[in-house]
Structure formats: C-alpha cells, structure tokens
Amino acid sequence: MSKNITPYKNSDLGKKEQVAKMFDTISGNYDNLNRVISFGIDIKWRKKVLEIVAKSNPETILDIATGTGDLAILMAQTNAKQIIGLDISSGMLEVGVKKIADKKLSNTIEMVLGDSENMPFEDDYFDAITVAFGVRNFETLEKGLKEILRVLKPNGVFVILETSVPGKFPYKQGYNFYSKNILPIIGKLFSKDDVAYGYLSESAAAFPYGEALNNILRKIGFIDVIALPQTFGVATIYSASKN
C-alpha cells in the first residue's frame, strides 16, 4: 500500500477534499502546466492510450479523473457513442466542458462531477475505462480500482496512464533531480497554489508502479494485466481486462 501523501500538510480535510481543492485552484493553468512539466510528451502517451482503447471498438467509454477532459476528447476519435468524463473537481470539469463545447463534442462527451471510489454507474456498463494521471490521487487506491472493475464490462479494456520512476542510470538520477528541484519551481511559477507541485512530485515518488501496480490490479481481480513503460520509464501505461 502506498504512503498516504496529501497536498496540504496542516489541513484537517481528508485527502479527497484536499485533492479537489488543489485541482479547483490550479484548474485555470492546468493544461499549460501539463505541457510544460512533461515537455509535451504526455500528448504522445495519450495517443498510445487511444490506440489501445480504439482496438476494442468501444461504444461506451468512461474517463475517470478526467480533469479538463484531454483524454475524454481524444477518445472521441474511437467513434464511441457515449463518452463520460468523471472528476471530483468542479473547477477542472468547468474548463473541460468549455473545451468540449469548442470542439462541438457536447453530444458525445458528458462531464460528470463524482468520486471514482463511489461511482453513479451500473455494474458491467463500460466497454472501456481510462484514467490518466489520476489513480495516484485516489484517497484509497484499492477502493477506486474495485469500483472500476465493477462498472467495466466483462472483456472490456481498462487503461491507466501514470507517472513512474525510471530504474536505470542516468535516467533515474535525472528524474530525481528534475522532480525534486525543477518541478516544484515550475509549479510555483505557473500555479496559484505553491503546494500543488510539491505534492505532485512527492506523490509520484511514493506511488507503486510497474510490477507493484500490476500485482495490485491482479489482486483486485483484473486479468491480462500488462505494464508498458514509456520514455525511459518516466510514465507507464497499464492495460488490463475483466473476466
């Protein structure tokens, strides 16, 4: 189980409320920040997620922790009939709703305010479920994953895109230097919430990745679990299914 890292050290709020507050605060700058901190490579990783999901020709897709909706918007290229983006931050969703309207996708993509650990969907509903840079923020990882397994259709596809930590020299050392020293400075410069990017690098370092996350997915009940490290291992795409 990962250490429970929260954004605000001296807060009485639970992790979930703190995470929602932090993302509400940074929502206006989130998209720009995202591109800067990943040098734009996240776009390539997202396209890989699209490729994996599109192979199964899904009709219904759920993008959990959708934030400002980038992955949900990309999923429209699968020609799915129904795409739902779910998030606990109303601020992030508001930005997403505008982007979806601008792209004339409001008929296909619906943004829903809700908690991944207690979702308002029936069992075995979605052909495909995605989560990009979200599972690390769940208050209780196992609870969120169990909910995902519940609403995924048998033989459906579940894809996670999440940061991970490179294991090899010199990428490991480069990554540590970047996340400890550079990332918090970029966060402070760009965002109104100077704790936010300290939290992001701390939570990334503490979160299980690779075989450790594979094993958690298997323990929950997912099958065909595969981890595909991206860009020297700074991110990993996980794909899994359900019996």
| Parallel, antiparallel or unpaired: strands 109-113 and 82-87 | parallel
Q: Does 116 bind ligand SAM (CB under 6 A)?
A: yes
Please check whether residue 114 is in contact with residue 120, taking contact to mean a CB–CB distance below 8 angstroms. Answer: yes
Q: Which stretch binds ligand SAM (CB under 6 A): 112-120, 150-158, 206-214, 229-237?
A: 112-120
Site for ligand SAM in 58-77 (CB under 6 A): 65-67, 70-71
Size of the site for ligand SAM (CB under 6 A): 23
> Kind of pairing, strands 60-64 and 82-87?
parallel
Q: Which is nearer to ligand SAM, 92 or 227 (CB)?
A: 92
Residue 198 in contact with ligand SAM, rule: CB under 6 A: no
CB of 25 to ligand SAM, least distance (A): 11
Shortest separation between residue 20's beta carbon and ligand SAM, angstroms:
6
Q: Does 235 bind ligand SAM (CB under 6 A)?
A: no
CA–CA gap between residue 198 and residue 200 (Å, rounded)? 5
Q: For residue 194, what are its two tokens?
A: 């100077």
E strands, the chain, in order = 60-64, 82-87, 109-113, 126-132, 152-163, 223-230, 235-241
Among positions 45, 121, 126, 133, the unique one binding ligand SAM when judged by CB under 6 A: 133
**Counting contacts by CB under 6 A, is residue 187 touching ligand SAM?**
no
- Contact, 47 vs 116, CB < 8 A? no
16 close to 88: Cβ distance less than 8 angstroms: yes
**Choices 5-13, 85-93, 173-181, 209-217 (CB under 6 A): range interacting with ligand SAM:** 85-93
**What is the distance between the terminal CA atoms of the chain, rounded to a whole angstrom?**
25
- Going by their DSSP bridges, the two strands 126-132 and 235-241 should be labelled as unpaired
Nearest residue (CB) to ligand SAM, 118 versus 243: 118
According to the binding rule CB under 6 A, does residue 88 interact with ligand SAM? yes
Binding-site ranges for ligand SAM (CB under 6 A): 16, 19-20, 23, 34, 65-67, 70-71, 86-89, 92, 115-117, 132-134, 137-138
